[in-house]
Structure 1
Amino acid sequence: MRVLSLKYGKSRAGGHFEVQFDDDTILTLDAELVVRFQLKVGFDVSANLRAEMEAEQERLTARRRMVRYLALRRKTRREALHYLERLGFSEAAIEYAMAAAAELKLVDDERFAESFQRTQQRVGKKGPRAISHELRMRGVDKELASKTVAESAKPENQRSAALIAGEKKAKALKSEEPRKARQKLQMFLMRKGYDGDIVAEVTRKLLGENDD
């Protein structure tokens, strides 16, 4: 097939060309690919060369979409992979985009886990069990998830964090019947992801001993 025309245009992604062939088909390529493949009007393009250009364009598009996606908020490798799969990119394009993201340090499960742990502990007042579970759900492997929460899982650290998490809740429960208040506080702290013995200890400290 032969190139009939090259029409330049611009979009949010940057400069591109609409390459029209003599079989009435049009292929949109990034400007850099037009230069790389030395396309010009009258240029003969074999089926193999066109397939190569289409594959290269898909790889560049996948990389662009990945960078844009990860620039908004850090994600795990699995989340990034699933994002590209949902968009329908080929396996080769996904591998290319993932490698590029790793090279740019946009995908790093260890850094993601550390940042996620700090945020969930500081803002969400969550305990190590809940944080570890959420990391696993996002695709962080079990060993890394456990390593990430190891420090906060120490009894003394859990105790101080659970006290902070439970103080406001305990104040809101002061008007409740004591037994019911203790049950509600315990359930609250358990949902936050603290160990059972820590929950029991903190509940006693904040609401007193069980009268039963």
Structure 2
Amino acid sequence: MPIITKITTQKNSPDRYNIYLDEKFAFGVDEEVLIRYHLAKGKELSEFDITQIQYEDEIRKALNAAINFLSYRMRSEEEIRQHLKKKEWEDPVIQAVLLTLVDRNYVDDLEFAAAYVRTQVNGGKKGPLNIRQELRQKGIKDSFIEQSMDEYSSEKQIEHAIQLGDKIARQNNNLSETFLKQKIEQFLLTKGFPFNIISIAIDEIDYEKDDDDEWNALQIQGEKAHRRYKKFTGFEYKQKMKQALYRKGFAIELIERYLNDNE
């Protein structure tokens, strides 16, 4: 069997060592592996020993990569798995790393999910459906997702939906009241708020217009429609204008008034 004839520290990695067998370089190992296998000058190693040591060293290198990945923020098990796969480690090595991380409490998918929800709630820009979907994409199992969603109360969801809805209302005050309400509802749906939350929030969102506001909004939309249809005349022009403004949510009597005023 080959014998360890020399052990040297690697220049760029002081916690890794070069192992020489029968005066020839054989492989490198992490300090933890070196200690665990009692590697020292004069020790004999079988082929099985070498294979096992190299396998354990792969796990150690992957573990160090995972810990470095975790140093920036919390990660789910699936995020770590995908990160290590991109680094081209084999599945058995990755699984061994994950078991070690869980055993050391470096990874906890339930705590990760709860912290993720808290962060999103503090941001106030997403509804619960979107947050659930993002957690699924991060590999969190459904039971953990449901537990973590306790961090996002219905009261908070309503509060956030109102804040987002009010912002959309302020940014789109040139729309009709009907069209603006639809836009707010659609926006909140895309943000992941459920219908029951939207229906409660919409009653509190300041989207309703008085007569003057609605008339001003109609004039703005009417000018835009006129630029599109000014090449038409007579009945055809009026019909196209009516259809365009009606699709924008304005009442037909208000449209008639606008067209009569601008005849």
TM-score (norm 1): 0.84
Instruction: Map residues 109-128 of structure 1 onto 2, 5 A cutoff.
Output: 109-128=109-128
- 2:188/2:198 contact within 8 Å kept: yes
Deviations 1:108-138 (A, max 9, x none): 1111111111111221421111111111111
Cα separation, 2, equivalents of 1:153 and 1:40: 59
Deviates more, 1:140-149 or 1:68-77: 140-149
C-alpha spacing 1:90/1:175, structure 2 compared with 1 (3 Å)? same
Instruction: Map residues 159-178 of structure 1 onto 2, 5 A cutoff.
Output: 159-178=158-177
- One-letter identity of the residue aligned with 2:4: V
Alpha-carbon distance, 1:10 to partner: 4.8
User: 2:99 matched to 1:130?
Assistant: no
Match of 1:7, SS? strand
C-alpha spacing 1:16/1:144, structure 2 compared with 1 (3 Å)? closer
Alpha-carbon distance, 1:67 to partner: 1.2
- 1:151/1:157 contact within 8 Å kept: no
Cα separation, 2, equivalents of 1:185 and 1:144: 31
- 1:3/1:42 contact within 8 Å kept: yes
- 1:128/1:153 contact within 8 Å kept: no
Cα separation, 2, equivalents of 1:123 and 1:79: 22
What's 2:67 paired with?
Answer: 67
- One-letter identity of the residue aligned with 1:180: F
- One-letter identity of the residue aligned with 1:202: A
Instruction: Map residues 25-174 of structure 1 onto 2, 5 A cutoff.
Output: 25-150=25-150, 152=152, 154=154, 156-174=155-173
C-alpha spacing 1:10/1:103, structure 2 compared with 1 (3 Å)? farther
C-alpha spacing 1:101/1:11, structure 2 compared with 1 (3 Å)? farther
Cα separation, 1, equivalents of 2:101 and 2:31: 22
Deviations 1:164-198 (A, max 9, x none): 22222221112333333223222221111111243
- 2:76/2:108 contact within 8 Å kept: yes
C-alpha spacing 1:151/1:92, structure 2 compared with 1 (3 Å)? closer
Task: Count residues in correspondence.
Answer: 210
C-alpha spacing 1:184/1:96, structure 2 compared with 1 (3 Å)? same
C-alpha spacing 1:138/1:32, structure 2 compared with 1 (3 Å)? closer
Q: Comparing both chains, which one has the higher relative contact order based on Cα–Cα distances under 8 Å and sequence gaps of 6 or more?
A: 1
- 2:109/2:140 contact within 8 Å kept: yes
Alpha-carbon distance, 1:52 to partner: 1.6
Match of 1:6, SS? strand
State the Cα RMSD in Å: 2.6
- One-letter identity of the residue aligned with 2:184: L
- 2:62/2:89 contact within 8 Å kept: yes
What's 1:7 paired with?
Answer: 8
Gaps of 5+ in 1: none
Which protein shows a greater Rg?
Answer: 2
User: 2:196 matched to 1:193?
Assistant: no
C-alpha spacing 1:75/1:33, structure 2 compared with 1 (3 Å)? closer
- 1:182/1:207 contact within 8 Å kept: yes
TM-score (norm 2): 0.69
Deviations 1:41-100 (A, max 9, x none): 444321111112112211211221111111211111222222223323334432332122
